Chains A and B, each alone.
Chain A
């Protein structure tokens, strides 16, 4: 079945152009050079529009991570980068941001064929936001302040904030560019050296960013990229005895493994940005059309492959029926197809595994007794496309209401009172984000204070900003990306104390 506006891989609409995609960089980037993995092994990366292999990429493992860490350690302990002024690091990072902008088409195309992400959104939002974030931290690099302390005796005390050393950054596949810079930008600004392990599903843009780093003047060894798999290369990073800190974004299950490995090895500090099951709460006084649009955007953007996806939508009973009707309509108008097509709003899921996982959840939704309002089926004959899906009559304990599906599946539920809304919103082990739609000041204040989540969006969603800290509560992890807070992950604080003699002032 195909509604007139839905497209699939075999759509008749060929009016858009797919840019020619050359895969320039396929090797590990260690100490300023692209090299094969020590084992010589490579792995394939596939285009989720068709399932076909795009390219073979060097497969890094423990020995390659060891080489990268050696280079990063040398660059940190003896190289220029940490010993430059923050201003000088900032200048180089500004240049890096410029180079990213000069290559925006090519980079966006890489993320589209690697991850099924919308080409237009990549060019307009993802890639420019990454360069914006780089500039944000470039401007912060010379503003990393410690403090002088007011001690209780005749002592001079101050704190120095120093780069923590060699940082391991483990990047997920849903926003390959955004996540790369969420982590690399503050780490670089802080003066750390890095070993980046991009997701195996999406290695392409990371290697391009490595090339641009060198072009920008980032010294050899400061930024290293090891493509490969989680249980090999990722695990080697988490358990490395000479990596000082690991920053991880990904699933809760793997987050556990990373933290355990860090504990078992050298007790490196970790920060984890994990899954979510974020609620969107829509009150009776909301403008229904605005709320419907917001809810649609909150769950179907990036094919639902977003940690902060608003996958649980609670609508107050006064507007529930109208909302359901309009939501179903709006989902039917949501265009699924080739992400290079500027008319398309939803590309394919990132790979076969995710595709099958989402379909399984949809099936369990029906089995557990929820009502499928719209969508629910795969579409197209090739690739990993799924129709935007809405369930109603969802109970809080169903797996589609509790588990993170990471796909275009909305669970739509009704509530009566504000107390009920708060209780349901918090009825999850996660705590990443939440949305509130209301015009009422007091409802907005009360509900934002009551929900246990790291980001509360009032009358908006996905409102990310370079200056705004982002990170979860509860089992969504700990540690912040973005904002000045994110620098703290890559710094440690040293206290320096000297006695004061014969001084009239403390």
Chain B
């Protein structure tokens, strides 16, 4: 299968341009480790140009001054163009990130178009409020676009992450600079091309491919960017927030790591629970911030669960993500591949029991057999750290109080799953777990209408839903005295 990589340059002010330094960097196919192509490597000077274009487009251009309805029409066209190109986009994304072709087409690419449409429909419904003041005053709030926004996108869901940030920002009337992850620059540049085709004016969306410590850092520290939205690791999230503080005090939103627990009660349907846990941990080769990497099973069904989940791994196929029979492609790159394997080693060394998988597989590329550990103690590294790979830590619990305590025993708070038929257990657990999204008898359900974002060190700020618009808006209060009015 050959795939032409059409777009490899930075997209600034409506044009594809080389980096000022003319440097390029390679992006690799994780199935083999081979280089797919070279992409322009943006740095500070390129970010400066992009910000100049975005600032002009915001301060003087049409986009923020269009009605929300008109912005929505253009975003709808954009969504249509994505749908039309979904085959090519899905292939490109799979090549770059090792994602499964069949799923990517539907979940990631069509999902991106649907996300765009959701916010296209929201753009003309951005309401402020009139206030009930305590004196003779007329007061109202206006919700205005915050200005030039920087989006720093991770590599695990390149298109979905691109659109979960870009869509609400566009709807709000902002202009933006997108910095895709260096591991996965390809679809972002294609999306830039389609934006122009759809009629998004020059300068509104700019894409600067490059590395985090150069291009990404320039965005976080830029004096003329009004807000940064970041999804990625906790370590880099810290740097972004610090840099924002040191520069122009731009507000930031951070969606960071997770170590999300799944809690399976005795009354669960075991087969359903096994299936849920398996998908929760191994979906997208475990490269998901919400991966259900800690699985707690109540003692009544524990042994049966262990047997069944181990058995179920036999039908879990690791291989070429372009093959529709495969469930798990390669890890995104060599660094991640090695990191996951080292965690597996740690698990063994710390005394957990590796019941299945855990070895690299295939002679080329970055494939890892999905691993399940039992006899995991709470303080082991594999139970505390975000591994970001296909590694499940399976643990037993007795009482609901124990489950709650263990679920919350983490610095993260991104998501959690609860499997039970009991209404009261479900209500109690969902109220007790300190995480941003609680899935009851399901997992990985990301709906564009449902706010998504973590508690604690999983970050702050929401993607999806109407909440996501808040990040890209500012509230202005306008007050005038009222004279001779019989009504407040």
Question: Is there a chain B Cβ closer than 8 Å to A322's Cβ?
Answer: no
Q: Evaluate whether A468 and B139 lie within 8 angstroms (CB atoms) in the complex, with A152-B448, A155-B447 already known.
A: yes
Main secondary structure of the interface of B (DSSP, over half): mixed
C-alpha spacing A202/B246, complex, angstroms: 28
**Which of B17-25, B163-171, B235-243 forms part of the interface with chain A?**
B235-243
Contact flags (1/0) for B292-315 with A, using CB distance below 8 Å?
000000000000000000000000
Question: Is there a chain B Cβ closer than 8 Å to A453's Cβ?
Answer: yes
Question: Is there a chain A Cβ closer than 8 Å to B486's Cβ?
Answer: no
- Do residues A497 and B450 form an inter-chain contact, with CB atoms below 8 A? yes
Separation in Å of the B226 CB from the closest CB of chain A?
A: 8
**Which of B101-109, B260-268, B377-385, B430-438 forms part of the interface with chain A?**
B430-438
Name the interface residues of A420-461: CB closer than 8 Å to any CB of B. 429, 444, 448-449, 453-460
**Which of B46-54, B193-201, B328-336, B453-461 forms part of the interface with chain A?**
B453-461
Question: Is there a chain A Cβ closer than 8 Å to B1's Cβ?
Answer: no
Question: Is there a chain A Cβ closer than 8 Å to B451's Cβ?
Answer: yes
- Do residues B249 and A256 form an inter-chain contact, with CB atoms below 8 A? yes
Residue of B nearest to A262 (CB): B241
Contact flags (1/0) for B130-165 with A, using CB distance below 8 Å?
011111010101100000000000000000000000
- Tell me which of B237, B459, B462, B476 has the highest count of chain A C-beta atoms within 10 A of its own C-beta: B476
- Do residues B131 and A467 form an inter-chain contact, with CB atoms below 8 A? yes
- Do residues B475 and A485 form an inter-chain contact, with CB atoms below 8 A? yes
Separation in Å of the B224 CB from the closest CB of chain A?
A: 11
Shortest Cβ-Cβ A-B pairs, 5 listed: A263-B241, A259-B245, A478-B251, A269-B460, A458-B480
Residue of A nearest to B223 (CB): A429
- Do residues A468 and B133 form an inter-chain contact, with CB atoms below 8 A? yes
* Across-interface contacts of B451 in A (CB, < 8 A): 159, 493, 495
Question: Is there a chain A Cβ closer than 8 Å to B477's Cβ?
Answer: yes
Separation in Å of the B451 CB from the closest CB of chain A?
A: 5
Residue of A nearest to B245 (CB): A259
**Which of A182-190, A229-237, A469-477 forms part of the interface with chain B?**
A469-477
Q: Evaluate whether A267 and B449 lie within 8 angstroms (CB atoms) in the complex, with A460-B479, A498-B426 already known.
A: no
How big is chain B's contact interface, by range? Answer: 35 or more
- Number of contacting residues on A, CB 8 A? 62
* Across-interface contacts of B474 in A (CB, < 8 A): 454, 473
Q: Evaluate whether A458 and B411 lie within 8 angstroms (CB atoms) in the complex, with A263-B238, A494-B437 already known.
A: no
Separation in Å of the B251 CB from the closest CB of chain A?
A: 4
C-alpha spacing A463/B438, complex, angstroms: 42
Main secondary structure of the interface of A (DSSP, over half): mixed
Question: Is there a chain B Cβ closer than 8 Å to A124's Cβ?
Answer: no
Q: List, sorted by A's number, 25 A–B pairs whose CB atoms are closer than 8 Å.
A: A149-B447, A149-B449, A149-B465, A152-B114, A152-B449, A155-B442, A159-B450, A159-B451, A260-B241, A266-B456, A267-B237, A267-B238, A267-B254, A274-B249, A429-B248, A455-B477, A457-B479, A460-B480, A463-B137, A463-B479, A468-B477, A492-B455, A495-B451, A496-B430, A498-B426
Q: Evaluate whether A459 and B480 lie within 8 angstroms (CB atoms) in the complex, with A494-B435, A497-B442 already known.
A: yes
Separation in Å of the A274 CB from the closest CB of chain B?
A: 7
Question: Is there a chain A Cβ closer than 8 Å to B467's Cβ?
Answer: yes
Separation in Å of the B261 CB from the closest CB of chain A?
A: 15
Q: Evaluate whether A497 and B249 lie within 8 angstroms (CB atoms) in the complex, with A467-B139, A468-B479 already known.
A: no
Question: Is there a chain B Cβ closer than 8 Å to A219's Cβ?
Answer: no
Name the interface residues of B172-229: CB closer than 8 Å to any CB of A. 226
Q: Evaluate whether A252 and B249 lie within 8 angstroms (CB atoms) in the complex, with A151-B450, A493-B436 already known.
A: yes
* Across-interface contacts of A153 in B (CB, < 8 A): 447
C-alpha spacing A473/B229, complex, angstroms: 17
Question: Is there a chain A Cβ closer than 8 Å to B452's Cβ?
Answer: yes
Question: Is there a chain A Cβ closer than 8 Å to B445's Cβ?
Answer: yes
C-alpha spacing A497/B248, complex, angstroms: 38
Q: Evaluate whether A267 and B241 lie within 8 angstroms (CB atoms) in the complex, with A468-B133, A498-B442 already known.
A: yes
- Do residues A465 and B478 form an inter-chain contact, with CB atoms below 8 A? no
Q: Evaluate whether A459 and B242 lie within 8 angstroms (CB atoms) in the complex, with A485-B475, A498-B426 already known.
A: no
* Across-interface contacts of B436 in A (CB, < 8 A): 492-495
Contact of B438 among A244, A258, A467, A497 (CB under 8 A): A497
- Do residues A150 and B133 form an inter-chain contact, with CB atoms below 8 A? no
Contact of B134 among A456, A460, A467, A474 (CB under 8 A): A467
Residue of A nearest to B447 (CB): A151
Name the interface residues of B99-139: CB closer than 8 Å to any CB of A. 114, 131-135, 137, 139
- Known A152-B114, A475-B249; further 16 A-B contacts with Cβ < 8 A: A149-B449, A155-B445, A244-B456, A259-B241, A260-B242, A260-B246, A267-B254, A444-B480, A448-B478, A455-B476, A460-B480, A467-B132, A478-B249, A493-B436, A493-B462, A496-B430
* Across-interface contacts of A469 in B (CB, < 8 A): 141, 475, 477
* Across-interface contacts of B449 in A (CB, < 8 A): 149-152, 157
* Across-interface contacts of B244 in A (CB, < 8 A): 259
Q: Evaluate whether A495 and B438 lie within 8 angstroms (CB atoms) in the complex, with A259-B249, A449-B142, A473-B474 already known.
A: yes
* Across-interface contacts of A473 in B (CB, < 8 A): 474, 476
* Across-interface contacts of B457 in A (CB, < 8 A): 266-267
- Tell me which of A152, A269, A466, A497 has the highest count of chain B C-beta atoms within 10 A of its own C-beta: A497
C-alpha spacing A114/B435, complex, angstroms: 43
Separation in Å of the B61 CB from the closest CB of chain A?
A: 16
- Tell me which of B241, B249, B437, B465 has the highest count of chain A C-beta atoms within 10 A of its own C-beta: B249
Question: Is there a chain B Cβ closer than 8 Å to A499's Cβ?
Answer: yes
C-alpha spacing A485/B128, complex, angstroms: 11
* Across-interface contacts of B445 in A (CB, < 8 A): 155, 497, 499
* Across-interface contacts of A155 in B (CB, < 8 A): 442, 445, 447
Question: Is there a chain A Cβ closer than 8 Å to B81's Cβ?
Answer: no
Question: Is there a chain A Cβ closer than 8 Å to B234's Cβ?
Answer: yes
C-alpha spacing A184/B252, complex, angstroms: 24
C-alpha spacing A206/B234, complex, angstroms: 36
Question: Is there a chain B Cβ closer than 8 Å to A49's Cβ?
Answer: no
Residue of B nearest to A156 (CB): B440
Question: Is there a chain A Cβ closer than 8 Å to B12's Cβ?
Answer: no
C-alpha spacing A485/B139, complex, angstroms: 15
Question: Is there a chain A Cβ closer than 8 Å to B32's Cβ?
Answer: no
* Across-interface contacts of A448 in B (CB, < 8 A): 476, 478
C-alpha spacing A155/B446, complex, angstroms: 11
* Across-interface contacts of A244 in B (CB, < 8 A): 456
Question: Is there a chain B Cβ closer than 8 Å to A480's Cβ?
Answer: yes
Separation in Å of the B223 CB from the closest CB of chain A?
A: 9
Residue of B nearest to A473 (CB): B474
Residue of A nearest to B442 (CB): A499
Question: Is there a chain B Cβ closer than 8 Å to A132's Cβ?
Answer: yes
Name the interface residues of B401-458: CB closer than 8 Å to any CB of A. 411, 426, 430-431, 435-442, 445, 447-453, 455-457
Contact flags (1/0) for A41-62 with B, using CB distance below 8 Å?
0000000000000000000000
